[in-house]
Every structure is written in C-alpha cells, then in structure tokens.
Structure 1
C-alpha cells in the first residue's frame, strides 16, 4: 500500500470519526461503502484531552484513543486490500505509544503495514518555561506537513497527537498534489473541506436545523471530500447511505465553532468570507473560490488543568409555590453545611406548568452545584446534608439522584506560543525522524473590516413568529466561549436578517448573554452571521455545570425566540 490516488487531479478523502465515541462501525462502513483514497478520523475534542490526561496519570502507556485500536484490529486487512491510507489524530497525548500498539496489532494479524506518527505537540514538560503555567496537558496545534512527510514515505497509517482538526485532511491533499508551503489558496480550500467533514455526520444531515426536510434521517452516512488540485472540493457521501448532502448541511458545518472571517491555522489563514458553495448534483456540493493567507507566527495551545472537585444535588419541586419552596431549600442547605465550599451556585429550571395533567409536568428542578479544591468539602459533607432536608423542608421534597462523593473537574484555557518554540517531528515507519520547520512566511492576524451591508428593506406587514421559521443555525463551544452561526436561503431574507439581528437584538433574545461580550461577524457569501459569546461557558465544558455545557442547543434556543418577521419572508 502506501500510495495515494491514481488520479493526479483528484483525491477522495473520507471521514469515519468526529469525536472519541463516534460510531465504531464507521471505519468498516466507509471502507466497504465505495471508493476512497484516504480515510481520516478526528478523535480529539478539548474535553477529550483532559480525559486522556487522566488516563495517562493512571497508566503512562495510555493517553490515546483506545477505540481507534479496536477499529484497526477489525479493519486493517480491509484497508490494505482496498489500498486506503488512514490518517487520524487518535494518538492524543501518546502518538508514539499508539503507533507501537498498532504495529503489534498488525503483527498479530499477520499483516505488513507501515505505521508512522507525528509528535512534538506535547509541551507539558516545558509549560513553565513557555509561560503556560502547570497544566495537566499542554498541546500545541500542529499543522499538516508532518503528515505529508509520513505519507510521502509510503506510510499506510499515520497517527498524530494534537493537530488542527482539518490537518488530517489537508495533509493527504498536500502530499497528493505536491503543494508547497505558500500555496495558500489551495491549502485554504483543503482546510475548508476538512472543516466540513471532520465532524462526521454533521455534514450529512446530523444536528441539522431544518431536519424535518430530510425525511427519515435514519443512519446518516459519513462524508467524503473530493479535493481537486486547485483546492476546490465536492462534499459527498457513499451511494446508498443515509442522510443527505446539501448546501445547507454543508453550510451548517462551515458555521460550526468558527470565530472571525479569518480562520487561523498553523499552515494557512483561511478567509471564510471568500467561500462559495453550490449544489452540483444530488448529494454533491461544490466548494470553491477559497482564499488563503500566510498563517500567524504563533500556535494555539490547548491547556487542561485539574481545577478541583465538583458535586451537585438536584431537588424536585412540585405543584404550588415553586419559588418559595426553592428559597426555603436554598436557605436551609446553605445554613446547614458545616463548611461552605469555595463555589456554590443554584439554578432553578421552571419546567413546570399550571394545572398539569401529570406530576412530572407539575414539577420544577432546583440544582445546587458546588466546587472546591478539597474533595471532602464537596463530598458527603455536602450531599448528605442535602438529603437531610428531605423530611425537614418544603412539602413534597425529593431528589433526582442519591447522595455521592464529588468528582474531579478540569479547566480549559487556550495559550499561544511562538511556532519556533514547538518541535514538529515526523517519525517514519522505519524509525527515521524528520524535523518539520515552522512556517517562515507569517502574517499577524488582523480584524476583517465589516463588509458593506445591504440597505435595510422596507418593512410591510409582519407576523410574530419564531426566528427559526426562516433562519438556520449551528452552535458550539470554544473553551469558555460559544458561537452561534446563522444563515438564510434567499437574498431578501438576508437583507432583513443582517439589518435586524444586531448584537443588541441577540442580547435581548437571549438574556443569558446580556452581561457578556458579544461580537458579530458578517459573511455575505454565505448569507450568514456568526456571533461569539465570550465567557458564556465559564472555564470550559469540563468545569461548568450549565444546562447545555457545550452550547450545542444555543442556536436552537435562539431559533425558538419570537420576533416580528416580514410576512412575505415566511414560508
């Protein structure tokens, strides 16, 4: 094996994982389902790095995605037979350990597979000298050129640690076409293709706002990017698989977890405001026109720290006087605690309704979350006291769970280091180590001036309706920040949306965001707006106990809010 596509002007790159825990059978489904040149997988979310860090604390030989090993055990022979190379970031905190484990798997299967890996991203041993504190994990986001080196050496499998999500797609494309470090438009086009397919079935109908249009979503197929020599691509999927690929399903993924119109990476900064998307044929969406710029001189670093211990108890409040019952429970619990934890917060979810036909519909939920560096202060000292209220507090007192000990939680923060400080090493199948130089042509990130907006349309008759009647959305997390990407389908809807949904209007519709810094970015080519809500998620998903800790439903909440929409724009 170890050879890329026979077509010099096209490479077919599929994806079989969007997170650690995605559909385990996807690797086999993708290998059996149709033609592929390369199969990729993304296993590393910010939270995953913390999970792997705790694995490594228990056993230094671990720190990688164990499910990937099982997938290779099941599919290595098939991949070799089909001449499909595999590139994945499943190495996590221990890509060398994963590569060695895969060599043992190949030997046990009696298969000759060349397995290479990329390392250098793990900075935890140098975190102090680099000004990154004393985290549990510290991993710089590497780019695609180590992967390129491994593929050019004939590797059948390349595993990496923390590279950017799109790099596992950019690397095979750059190797196949022989792109150079300054082929920015081509690299940026591959970044966009990679960004679309790296979250697996989110590009084929998963998590899609207008899901009712898709009919029976069933079991969506995983996406494929057919990348061309000029960096343009077609997003598609294997014939006969579930889900669908449309301009909107692709745009939904384009709007996921982005920030400004400049999408920075270690190899290229991609101009999201240059992207053109069009439907080429059923289940085939063309992406072209992408413009790239030199990357910034610094690399982002993912930092996870053990922040302490957390516990929670949730009270059920039923029937009348919900607010008064909640106040009584709060007052009693806080007074009865022998020692107050460092952090104690309450949330009352008024999911009850008056004159309810079921007890569940008559009930609200009161949750108390506590955090402290000392596990004892948030262990049984806390949860037992909560239970002691059962016969001494509001009428009908009960809980959703039993008392228990606290559990450790993590804190995510981003860091930045000069790219020259970060080693980037391709370790080939024969053990040869090749140092990958950082980018020499760099460009500091700068804000993109807001484009000229269309004139505000004349508003005639309006109808009070949910924003989601005409607006699609996708939201997600970036550390402690959240993003909401929104877009519409027609020029008339766009003229109304871009002039109506200001930062002030968003804060009015989503009161939780009112005290926070909110930034709006305009992407006219996509008829899209992207809002960054700074600090909504506190110190990251592993820290906070917000109802929706990764902001996955934030866009759907916004779509459900009612406002006056021009009647002619409604379906």
Structure 2
C-alpha cells in the first residue's frame, strides 16, 4: 500500500495525441533521481474524439489512440521496476480494446502489471432514451441550440467522467488504468484520492485542490512555458534552460490538499507564478470550475513562488459537484475540400477580388449545393519586401457540402484552378492538390447529462468489475457563471487619462491565455507589472473595449461576460483573471505582484 505520510507526486506526461512521445519513458527511467508515483496523460481532444467515434461507427478499424502505445511501450519495464502507477485518457472509442492491447503488450514483456479500464463514457443510448421520453431538450452549452434543432444526426456520445473510478481501480491493485473519456483533470483527482484515502463526502476541499492541480498539469508542458505569452523570457540558457525540450509538470499533493507545482529535473522551461497563471486561465470561464466529483471555487485563488521551479497553490474553495456532467455528441458533418493560391506583390486585395469573381463564376452551376464557401486571406505581405516570400500571402478557398459528389474534382477543384490563364499577374496556385478532393468532416455538439444516467464502471484484469455510483449530494448551479460588475474607472474609460500614450500591441504590458473549445471561447488577461497597469487594463477591457479589440471577429449579438479578480499576495508576483463561457468572450485581469 502506498504511504500516506508524504505528498503524492503526479507527473503529466502528455497533453495531446501529438505531444512528445518520449516523456513517459524518460520520466519512468529517471525515477531514482526524480521519483514519480503516478504518470498521468491525456491523448484526447475534440478532434480525435470525433474522428475515432466516426471510425468506430463506420467499422473502419481500431478506434483507440495509437500514439499512446508508442509512448507506453518503451516505458513499461521501468514502470514495473519502480512500481509507478499509470492513469490515462487514451481509449477514445475503443477503451476495452486498448486495455487488451496493453495487457498483451505487458504479457509479451513478461511483466506482472495489472491493467484495468473504465467504462460508462459511451452515453448515446442514454441521450436517445431521454429524448424519446421528453426528459431533456439537451441545449448546447455553447450556443443554446436544442439538440432536436441540430442539423446533424448523432452517431456517438461520450461523457466526461470523474476520477473515482481510477481511484477504485488503484485501490484494488491496478497498475495501469485506461480511460476512454474522463475529464482532463480526473486522473490527478483519482490518483490523489487513492493515495490519501479521501472520502467524497468529507474531503471536498482536498478534492477541489487536486482538481485545480489536475487542470494545471493536464496539458503537460503548457504550465512549464509552452503556449505562454512570456515565452521569450525562457530563451536564454540562464533564465530557463532554453526553448528546446521544455519540462513536464509534476503536482505534489499532500493529505490535506496542499499543492505544489514543479517540473522534472534537468529540463528546460520554467515553473513560475506567471506560467501557472497562464495555464490556470486556459478554459476557465468564471469562479466555478466543475468536475463530476467536486466543484472548485476560484474566487480567492493565488500562487506563490516557493523557489526556482516550485509554485504553491493557495485559496481554492470547494463545493458540491453539479448533478450533471458534460457530454460531447459526434455526427457526420458532410465533406470539405480546399485549394490554395499565392498572390504576390502589389494590389493583393484587388488580385483576390479578381480571383474570387472568376472562381465563383465557374462554381455557379453547383454553388447552391455548398453549405460553406469562403475565400480566406491568411497573412499580409511585408511592406517593401526584400524577398518574394515576404511579398507573398496565402489565399485559402474552402468549401463544404453534405455530399461528396458536390465537391468532386469536376465541381470544385477544377473550377478553382481553371481560371489561371485569365488570372491576375503572377497568379500561382498551390500544386499539392490532395486537399482539393472531398474528405469527411465531423460535427461536435456539447451538452449536459445527469450523472444518474451514467453507468460508471471499473473493469479489472481478472474479469471482475466495480460500480462507481454518482455523487450522493450535488448542487444546482445557474447556467451562466456570475459576471463581475464593471466598476467605473478612476481615470476614464478605454484607458484614457493616464498621460501621454503610444499606440502598440496589448502584449507589451499584458499577458493573455485563451481556451481552444471553438464557439465556447474564453480569454484571460493579467498585467505584467504593478501600479497603474491594473486600473488601466480594467478601464480598457470593458465589454465595449473587448468588442473593439475583437474587430471583425466579433459576431454581433453574441454576449460578452466579464469576470475579474484582484490578488494581493506576499510573493514577488501574483494575479489572476477569469474568462467567458458558452460562445462568449469574457475578460479578467490582475494587479501588481502577480503570477
């Protein structure tokens, strides 16, 4: 049995199917110098979830994430040698099959590792029953659209499960736990819950801290300086070891839920209050952070820098979990094709208008069958360019249609290319035409399902299974998170009244971090310095100010929700900001010493 007299050390070794595959083997091999108790990783995203689901329903092959096996196989001997536990999101739409593949792989290496897997995330039958019985309209949590009004037919649905199935599997002796779709932070919750023997009824605060810890390390190197707007500060060897091979995070979680974030020894990048703030703001949409097991309250959250590459988490609150959990539905979305042209030199706008007029003319007989046709200018030429590359832009012509035949080469690719001899001067198409042929695309719909409708179960290596009941106590929360009232700025609106100004990028003095959930867009801001920067940023990022910053990307009528949070802490720098929800952008900022 694991010792409960010290914090558990949990490493995040993958944040996506495209993350560096050497991490698991490297972390396991270095155990004598930098011990890890549990390796966690996430190989799932909305992109490969929909792709694997469609593959499974079409009977097109194995629908788990194969890159996980590439990461696991070279690590297995050290995982067994040092008694490291593993809990991962990698099963996608074939969790049972992936568990068998891992079991067989363990057997071929003559290792005595026990493999368990989690079921219950496949919930399309539950959704269909609830629809048939008129028990839910399943509104889209991003757009408010009702599922019955969706233009597509779902073929698969997955729920985001909590971490208690993982905890139960470890408690019964599992060494490796394979999940299909648990929430990104659930492996950390499950590992800490098992290690410390927590109780879901009495240890909510401890679980809430582990939830935030899981959120911080779920994207592997992001919290070590990846996707960080202060990345330039990490370039020098002295400051952060350079940009090559950024570290992988480690969460140290004590019995009482205290959290310290660090990284593997000898790695590049950095763990600072700034990098932790950046990852905290990723997909955070207000002061309530939900999970199937617990709700973390972020109203008083802050960070402190303990020492180099060690940051402590403070101020997390806890409340009961909601009675529902998020689910994602996959549907065939038709077909897509695209062609690229490369205008160069002067009069780029006129050249694109000429090309668009000519192509639209040739597409006219079939254009009514297209559900999407866009001419997208990607980038701008350099003024007074010194090379042809600097003077060239990318024009992407993309189309979608319900049927593949409406994007056949004769109906899309050829009309996009056959204008070349009547084109603008220097007209040059891209010669890699593979994207010009129709390929299937998927649609994704996010809604909520009662946890009582989910059959969360652990499948053990000996054929036995364990049922994980839904939480006994839950709490209903409003559909929209509370929005911070906008306070009047002491020195005027839109950043005015602070003396002489110089027009420049917001990033000169402000850090920012956005989520990546499509129409469920959010962005958080925090100031780099102290003093008046906080007040200035608050005055700038009013609702109208954000609309102005979004420019042509703002869709009229979409509501912007605003959350802000001011943090005063003793450490050198500390701060935070909260972000928007449900297809809305919201802003948050923080002052002076900040993370």
> What is the CA–CA distance in structure 2 between the aligned matches of 1:506 and 1:533, rounded to whole Å?
15
Task: State the aligned residue count.
Answer: 540
TM-score normalized by the length of structure 1: 0.89
Residue 445 of structure 1 pairs with residue 477 of structure 2: yes
Q: Secondary structure at the match of 1:226?
A: strand
- Cα–Cα, structure 1 residues 425 and 257, in superposed 2: closer, same or farther, change >3 Å? same
Q: Deviations over 1:404-438 (max 9, x none)?
A: 31111111110211111111001122221111111
1:202 Cα offset (Å): 0.5
- Cα–Cα, structure 1 residues 452 and 479, in superposed 2: closer, same or farther, change >3 Å? closer
Residue 206 of structure 1 pairs with residue 226 of structure 2: yes
Residue 359 of structure 1 pairs with residue 388 of structure 2: yes
Tell me which protein shows more strand as a share of its residues.
1
Residue 229 of structure 1 pairs with residue 247 of structure 2: no
CA contact (8 A) 2:329 2:444 kept: yes
Q: Secondary structure at the match of 1:143?
A: coil
> What is the CA–CA distance in structure 2 between the aligned matches of 1:269 and 1:372, rounded to whole Å?
41
Match of 2:10 in 1: 13
1:192 Cα offset (Å): 0.6
**Residue correspondence of structure 1 range 371-450 to structure 2 within 5 A:** 371-380=400-409, 381-403=411-433, 404-446=436-478, 447-448=481-482, 450=484
Q: Choose from 531, 542, 552 the match for 1:502.
A: 542
Match of 2:160 in 1: 141
1:263 Cα offset (Å): 1.1
Question: Mean alpha-carbon deviation: is it higher for 360-369 or for 505-514?
Answer: 360-369
CA contact (8 A) 1:517 1:533 kept: no
1:455 Cα offset (Å): 6.1
- Cα–Cα, structure 1 residues 288 and 427, in superposed 2: closer, same or farther, change >3 Å? same
Q: Secondary structure at the match of 2:331?
A: strand
CA contact (8 A) 2:228 2:278 kept: yes
Q: Choose from 28, 33, 52 the match for 1:31.
A: 28
**Residue correspondence of structure 1 range 82-231 to structure 2 within 5 A:** 82-131=82-131, 134-182=153-201, 183-214=203-234, 215=236, 216-231=242-257
Match of 2:575 in 1: 527
1:205 Cα offset (Å): 1.1
Task: Give ranges in structure 2 of 5+ residues lacking alignment.
Answer: 132-146, 237-241, 492-496, 568-573
> What is the CA–CA distance in structure 2 between the aligned matches of 1:490 and 1:396, rounded to whole Å?
48
> What is the CA–CA distance in structure 2 between the aligned matches of 1:400 and 1:292, rounded to whole Å?
54
Q: Deviations over 1:447-469 (max 9, x none)?
A: 33527869635723444332111
CA contact (8 A) 2:522 2:584 kept: no
**Residue correspondence of structure 1 range 34-45 to structure 2 within 5 A:** 34-45=34-45
Question: Mean alpha-carbon deviation: is it higher for 163-172 or for 310-319?
Answer: 310-319
TM-score normalized by the length of structure 2: 0.86
Q: Secondary structure at the match of 1:450?
A: coil
Residue 316 of structure 1 pairs with residue 336 of structure 2: no
1:290 Cα offset (Å): 0.9
- Cα–Cα, structure 1 residues 210 and 410, in superposed 2: closer, same or farther, change >3 Å? same
> What is the CA–CA distance in structure 1 between the aligned matches of 2:555 and 2:579, rounded to whole Å?
13
CA contact (8 A) 1:508 1:514 kept: no
> What is the CA–CA distance in structure 2 between the aligned matches of 1:155 and 1:469, rounded to whole Å?
49
1:532 Cα offset (Å): 2.8
Match of 2:141 in 1: none
**Residue correspondence of structure 1 range 315-354 to structure 2 within 5 A:** 315-337=341-363, 338-340=365-367, 341-349=370-378, 351-354=380-383
CA contact (8 A) 2:298 2:315 kept: no
